[in-house]
Amino acid sequence: MEYERREEEEYDRAKELKQFDDSKTGVKGLIESGITSIPRFFIHPPESLPSTANIAAPPPVSNIISTIDLSGFESDRRSIIVDQIHDASSKLGLFQVINHGIPSETIDRTIAGIKAFNEQPPEIRMRHYSRDIGRSVSYSSNFDLYRSKAATWKDTITVRWGPNIDISEIPEICRSELVEWHRQVKQLGEMIMEMLSEGTRSEGCQIKHGEHWVDVHPVPNAIIINIGDLLQIISNETYRSIEHRVLAHRLRQPRISVAVFFNSNKKEDFYGPLPDLISPDKPALYRQFTLSEFLTKFFTRERDDKSLISNFRI
């Protein structure tokens, strides 16, 4: 017990976090330094670990996560696809799509470009390191590093696309790949949003399922669509946002994810449940707010805080 107390007194978490952040090389830098054990600030305290007591076995994955074929979305199949997307979005909030129009070569080149960026020497990567969420392009590790109970084993390069983005700020080693990826995935996102709107009948990894974490088994070249908190609010809970996570790879090979967040550029306009989705039987469940307020709360919350959406609930 005396040894444990002395070890606790000698451990300066704030100092270790700052040293890690000041290195500007992220998790990849730790690996490059030759560490033989995981730094303590990555390890969750017992109270933040999920309890597994009295939890029944999870249901079969095949019965949970839909894979939707988008081929023929401009033909008579459109109504079928709209219904499938509506069903998956309202029941779970996440689904996969195939035949989405993005060539497999584009996906492969995008992943290869991200991998190439992370495999550059640390002195090159660190030129892009920043915690400034106002920058168009930044590289960092754990946006909530100083607020979370434990850091996550990941590094992130973020590109905030918008009408005023300077393409030259994107690292040259992955610039053309990300520009093409953005062009393709933007078209897909707009198409999905159209069909989500039609599904409300309004004009104009792993996922948390109950008490279980359920694997999302990858389908070759499929794109995973996650509804997210903002769409749950705008749809007045017609569609669901689901908790999800990505596990660290058990092998030495890196796990690479290319995530795209679709948000409006009109950050000072007010958002809330669509008027068409409000009725005496189902009044508005959320208040009005600006996108600036939403994003500020998103980036300043702890990663373990799953109550972001409660900030806007009436």
Q: Bridge partners of 213?
A: 208
CA dist., res. 134 & res. 2, Å (int)? 47
Which of the four pLDDT bands, split at 50, 70 and 90, describes residue 56? Answer: low
The residue type found at 10 is E
Q: What is the pLDDT of residues 182-191, one digit of tens each?
A: 999 999 999 9
Average pLDDT score over residue span 115-129 = 96
pLDDT digits (tens, 9 = 90+) for 270-292: 889 999 899 999 999 999 999 88
Which residue in the block uniquely carries the two structure tokens 């590109």?
A: 159
Could you count the other beta carbons within 10 Å of the beta carbon of residue 284? 16
Rounded Cα gap, residues 265 and 247, in angstroms = 31
Does the pLDDT of residue 204 top 70, yes or no? no
Mean local confidence (pLDDT), 211-234: 80
Q: What is the mean pLDDT of the chain?
A: 84
Buried b or exposed e, range 99-120, using 16+ CB within 10 angstroms: ebebeeebbebbbebbeebbeb
In the CATH scheme, what is the homologous superfamily, with its name and number, of domain 2-35+61-312?
Answer: B-lactam Antibiotic, Isopenicillin N Synthase; Chain (2.60.120.330)
Apex 260 CA angle, 92 and 211, nearest 5: 30
Confidence of residue 3 (pLDDT cuts 50, 70, 90): very low
Q: 269 to each of 189, 241, 264, 266, how far by Cα in Å?
A: 21, 22, 9, 6
Res 63: pLDDT: 64
Residue 64: DSSP 8-state: T
**Which of the residue ranges 25-29, 75-79, 217-221, 296-300 would you say has the lowest mean pLDDT?**
217-221
Q: Mean pLDDT across the stretch 116-132?
A: 96
Q: Has residue 8 got a pLDDT over 60? A: no
What gap in Å lies between CA 70 and CA 98, rounded to an integer? 6
The tens digit of pLDDT for each residue in 79-120 reads 899 999 999 998 888 899 999 999 999 999 999 999 999 999
Q: Provide the edge-to-edge strand list for the sheet that holds 94-98.
A: 67-69, 94-98, 223-226
Give the three-class secondary structure for 157. Answer: strand
> Which pair of tokens denotes residue 211?
């008490």
Query: 310: pLDDT confidence band, cut at 50, 70 and 90?
Result: confident
Integer Cα distance of 202 and 205 in angstroms = 31
Q: How many angstroms separate the CA atoms of 263 and 147, rounded?
A: 25
Amino acid in the structure at residue 275: P
Q: Average pLDDT of 126-139?
A: 92
Spell out the domain ranges in the chain.
2-35+61-312
Residue 221 confidence (pLDDT): 78
Residue 122: per-residue pLDDT: 96
**pLDDT of the residue at 91:** 86
* DSSP 3-state of 187: helix
Point out the least confidently predicted range of 143-147, 149-153, 300-304: 300-304
In this structure, the dihedral spanned by the alpha carbons of residues 300, 139, 188 and 241, taken in order and rounded to 10 degrees, is -30
Question: In which element (H, E) is residue 158 found?
Answer: strand 156-159
Contact 117, 137 (CB under 8 A): no
